[in-house]
Structure formats: structure tokens, C-alpha cells
Chain A
């Protein structure tokens, strides 16, 4: 990690940004309190970190309560991340609970051509999201199939992160590694692998 950067080193960093060789991926996750959105953001960050990248995970902290729409964030970069502001123009949006779509504009600020992952059991109206690369996965079913429950409700973070690997944002082996670090249980890994297989682009 570089703390005091000389003008020359910093210039080469800007050059990398200009040339597009320095990729910063900003991800926003929409969920409802209790579904594991914060943990999913962390899991993605850990997976990216295991790939040798720098990453941060955060959440917007307000009056959290079970069932309320919540937003979490992950930033992934090849360099130390110096942004501490909220993500306004994400490269990728993940919707863990499809009912959030009726409550908030999930694509707000999403870059044109950006990636959108929706957890849903139904078909998605593709016209509604025509500016984006849309993926769907039935993470709730996978979670229930593997009996991944906390306090009776399905936990969605493990299958969601598996599906994100399908979108090419993090590698599946890194996702496996992150799950084993955070929830060392083969069942969780298997659920993520099934989600990886099931996730499909519209």
C-alpha cells in the first residue's frame, strides 16, 4: 500500500485510469433488513481481496430494522481505495429482494450498459431494463433447497455471491474461498455453486 505518493508515481496511476487499465468496480446491493445484504457486500469484498485486489465493503447506516429496504456497497480496485463517499454511479446493482423494485428505483445512477442481477422466481420484464446487462437467479429457492435459514427466513447472501461470479465480477474460486473464510461449511459453497450454474443473462 502506498501512503505518500510522489508526483511521478501518482501520474502513472492517473495514466492507468485514463487508459482503462485500472478498473474500479462499484457495486450497490439492495436488500431488506435481515436478508444478509451487508454480509453479501462483505463476502464480495473478501472474494475480490482473495483475488489479490483491494476492496471495501460498507452500508448506509440509518434506522435499521428487519424488513426495511437497505443498501450496501462494495468497491473493488487494483489500487488502494481512497473514496469514502457513497456510490452514486455504480457499475453493478444487485437486487436481493425483488419487492424492493416497487419501493425504490434500483437502477438509479447505474451506468448505461451496467450489470444488474435480480433475485426472482418470475420472468423479468426485459424492456424495463433494456439499457443494462440483466442477470436473474432464483436465490430464494436455492437457499430454501439447501436449508440456509436464520430465524426461519432464507439467507440469500451465499447464492447471490455465487451468481455474481457468473457475471464475471469475481471468480468462482474466490467466492468459494470467501465463503469458507466467513461461513466454513461445504453446504454454503454448494449453494453458491448451484447459483453460479443457474444464474442466466436475459
Chain B
């Protein structure tokens, strides 16, 4: 059978993945740069190509509330958002994870106002780092599509049952067009079993959701959530291997590029990691032993990261952050440093803050930043 390839934007790629997953309910509110996702999905529903209940809502808070209602009844659910819309649904975001509802959401990363900035930054997702959602960060249009396809299976896995977010950077991925290899519908139907939420509301066995929970029990719920989030790490790895079998495309929590003999390791997420690979090639040509380690998921923080750090010879780490915690540091940099402490490993660490609010970060600039031997924190452009 011939593989079908189309030439589409990142937004359309995500919408096409959702169409394959056939959610029972889509509830979403448009916001730049995510709008095209919900527009394309609305078109599929209107034309009858996708038989989903499409709920028009007046805000993102209501969008997530509708998703929670639908998932509580056992439905497969999808929504999409960005930046301010994401922050607006914040209350419901936490509800969804504590209630263990496998909602899948695409978040098109965008900076926060003021001043009004519609371009890429990861802070909208990072602000929800502790919300109990699985977080994927993608770095090509194909990857945004493939990860959305995998997200439904991970979220709905009995061992996980947690909401899952697929991040793609605004404009650099959402609006760029690249060739996209489509997954065959029949193969995907086999890959993604029908949704079954064990604690869904049921008229035969009625129960209540969201009642008072005493101090003797609340912490147990949180303990349980963490257990499932940890288990998700293995389920994701398993899902990625199964996905590779049907597509030949290989995804891992930690994607390595020329790391094996690297003395310097660049650690990054999203498209900046791909741009860093180009800088890495150029530095390799000049004799520098450098590699790029890209994290595809922030929550659960991948166990594979610890394994790689213990194994790889690099003594110098350079961490690129497209989101900053004011008064603390680059968010990924701090996460990495905390992991190193857990492992009892001391490395020379340099933190680069770059690409905030859509700042253009060309590989030539990254090359210079990587060669700068000064440690500590550097803001590109400052």
C-alpha cells in the first residue's frame, strides 16, 4: 500500500491526527496561533467526514469544563488552546487531572501579554507544569501529528488515565508547511483501542463526582495520581515502540543527536533543539565534540534522561530554555540541575535563555553561544 503524503501546516497536521482518533466530543475556542486547528476540525464535522459532537463554547474555561463533562461520561475528548486561552482554563486543567480524565489537548505555544505577543514561547505550558498533565513537546510537523496520534493511546491507557497535552510552538510549527506522511486509518484504528474510562458515570451503577474529600483521603488521591504519572513513562515508551512498528518512525522520550562521544551536551526541547543540531554539525566540522539531547516530554520527567546522563561521557551541559521562571532561572535548566543532584552527578552547566516571545534564534547565533566557555546564565540578545 502506498503511503500518502500531504503538504500542510502544523495546525492542519494536528487536526488530521484528531480526525483519525475520532473523538466523541470536541469543545474548543479559537485563539491565535491555534485557530486553524479548530477551524479545520469544525470543517470535518460540518462535512460529515468526522462524526464528533462539536461544542461551541464562549470561553476556554467552558471548553475544558465541557471536556471534563464529556470525559466523565466516558467519551473520547479533544480540545486545543494557546497562551491566554490556556491560562483562562487553568482551574479546569487541574480538575481534569485530579479526576483522572484522559482528555487530549493541543497547545500551540505562545508568549503572554503585555505587550501583546502572539509568537512562540513555552511559558504557557510550563505554567501548567505541576497541573498533573502529561506534557509532550514536539519539534516538527510530522512529530506534532504523530505525537497527537500517540497521545490518545497514552492518555486512555488503563495504567495512566491522565490528561495529555501536545505542545507545538506557535508559528514556527503551527504555521509552517512541511510534507506530512499520513498514517493509514485502518492501521491507526488497530493501534488505538476504543476508549474505556472505568470510573465514567453510569446509570446502572450511579455514583457522585466532586464531593467533599476529607484530609484522610485527599493525599491518597494525589499519591495515586503520581503513581500513574510515573507509570505513564513506561506506557509512553511502549506506545512509541508500537507506533514505530506501524510507521517506521522512531520517537523516544530522549532524542539523541551525535551524543555518544560528545564532551559538550546541549539539552533543549522543541524546534530550538533541531536548530541546535545544525549548529552542532558546524561545530563538529571544526573539531568540537558536541551533541544535542532533546527532551520530548517534561511530565513525566523521563527516566531515560537519568540513564543517558549516567552513560554519556559529556562533562559540560548547555541547556536552552524558551521559558523563564522569574527570580529563579530557565525552567528546563533548573529541572535538569535538580535531576543531576538526585543522581549525585556534578557537571559544568551553562544556561541559555533564548527564543522568548518568538525571538529568532539562528543556528549561527547558537554556535557562538555554545562556544562561549563562560558558565552560568546567558540571555541571547541581552
Q: Which of B93-101, B176-184, B205-213 contacts A (4 or more CB under 8 A)?
A: B176-184
A46 within 8 A of B: yes
Q: Which of B80-88, B127-135, B247-255, B306-314 contacts A (4 or more CB under 8 A)?
A: B247-255
| Top 9 A-B residue pairs of the complex, sorted by shortest distance between their CB atoms | A85-B362, A82-B274, A84-B271, A58-B176, A57-B177, A84-B172, A14-B281, A56-B178, A86-B360
B334 within 8 A of A: no
A45 to B250 CA separation, bound complex (whole angstroms): 25
Give the residues in chain B near A4, CB-CB below 8 Å: 250, 252, 255-257
A7 within 8 A of B: yes
Asked if residues A49 and B362 are in contact (CB atoms below 8 Å), the reply is no
B82 to chain A, nearest CB (A): 14
A83-B278, A86-B362, A88-B362 known; A1 vs B142 contact (CB < 8 Å): yes
Asked if residues B176 and A82 are in contact (CB atoms below 8 Å), the reply is no
Known: A14-B284, A83-B275. 9 other contacts (CB 8 A): A4-B256, A5-B257, A14-B285, A17-B281, A46-B7, A54-B179, A81-B178, A83-B274, A84-B172
- Which residue of the partner chain A has the closest CB to B171? A61
A47 to chain B, nearest CB (A): 10
Give the residues in chain A near B177, CB-CB below 8 Å: 42, 45, 56-58
Interface hits, B345-366 → A, CB 8 Å: 360-363
B254 to chain A, nearest CB (A): 10
A82 to B282 CA separation, bound complex (whole angstroms): 13
Interface hits, A99-130 → B, CB 8 Å: none
Query: Interface range on chain B: under 10, 10 to 19, 20 to 34, or 35 or more?
Result: 35 or more
Binding site for B on A (CB under 8 A): 1, 3-7, 10-11, 13-14, 17-18, 42, 45-46, 49, 54-59, 61, 80-86, 88
Asked if residues A11 and B284 are in contact (CB atoms below 8 Å), the reply is yes
Give the residues in chain A near B173, CB-CB below 8 Å: 84
B224 within 8 A of A: no
Asked if residues B277 and A82 are in contact (CB atoms below 8 Å), the reply is yes
A83 to B272 CA separation, bound complex (whole angstroms): 9
- Which residue of the partner chain B has the closest CB to A182? B7
Asked if residues A59 and B258 are in contact (CB atoms below 8 Å), the reply is no
B175 within 8 A of A: yes
Asked if residues B7 and A49 are in contact (CB atoms below 8 Å), the reply is yes
A27 to B110 CA separation, bound complex (whole angstroms): 26
Residue among A13, A42, A49, A84 making CB contact with B281, cutoff 8 Å: A13
A45-B7, A84-B271 known; A7 vs B249 contact (CB < 8 Å): no
Interface hits, B143-182 → A, CB 8 Å: 171-173, 175-179, 181
Interface hits, B208-258 → A, CB 8 Å: 249-252, 255-258
Asked if residues A3 and B274 are in contact (CB atoms below 8 Å), the reply is no
B335 within 8 A of A: no
Give the residues in chain B near A14, CB-CB below 8 Å: 281, 284-285
Asked if residues B361 and A85 are in contact (CB atoms below 8 Å), the reply is yes
B118 within 8 A of A: yes
Give the residues in chain B near A58, CB-CB below 8 Å: 171-172, 175-177
A3-B251, A4-B250, A85-B275 known; A59 vs B285 contact (CB < 8 Å): no
- Which residue of the partner chain B has the closest CB to A61? B171
- Which residue of the partner chain A has the closest CB to B244? A3
A5 to B255 CA separation, bound complex (whole angstroms): 9
Asked if residues B179 and A55 are in contact (CB atoms below 8 Å), the reply is yes
Asked if residues A85 and B258 are in contact (CB atoms below 8 Å), the reply is no
Give the residues in chain A near B256, CB-CB below 8 Å: 4
B263 within 8 A of A: no
B237 to chain A, nearest CB (A): 14
B245 to chain A, nearest CB (A): 15
Asked if residues A49 and B277 are in contact (CB atoms below 8 Å), the reply is no
Residue among A7, A57, A84, A88 making CB contact with B274, cutoff 8 Å: A84
- Which residue of the partner chain A has the closest CB to B285? A14
The interface centre, meaning the residue of B7, B175, B258 with most chain A CB atoms within 10 A of its CB, is: B7
Asked if residues B285 and A1 are in contact (CB atoms below 8 Å), the reply is no
Give the residues in chain A near B249, CB-CB below 8 Å: 1, 3
Give the residues in chain B near A1, CB-CB below 8 Å: 142, 181, 249
- Which residue of the partner chain A has the closest CB to B261? A7
B260 within 8 A of A: yes
- Which residue of the partner chain A has the closest CB to B254? A4
A19 to chain B, nearest CB (A): 12
B302 to chain A, nearest CB (A): 15
Give the residues in chain B near A45, CB-CB below 8 Å: 7, 177
Give the residues in chain B near A56, CB-CB below 8 Å: 176-178
Give the residues in chain B near A11, CB-CB below 8 Å: 284
Asked if residues B179 and A49 are in contact (CB atoms below 8 Å), the reply is yes
A77 to chain B, nearest CB (A): 11
- Which residue of the partner chain A has the closest CB to B272? A84
A86 to B361 CA separation, bound complex (whole angstroms): 8
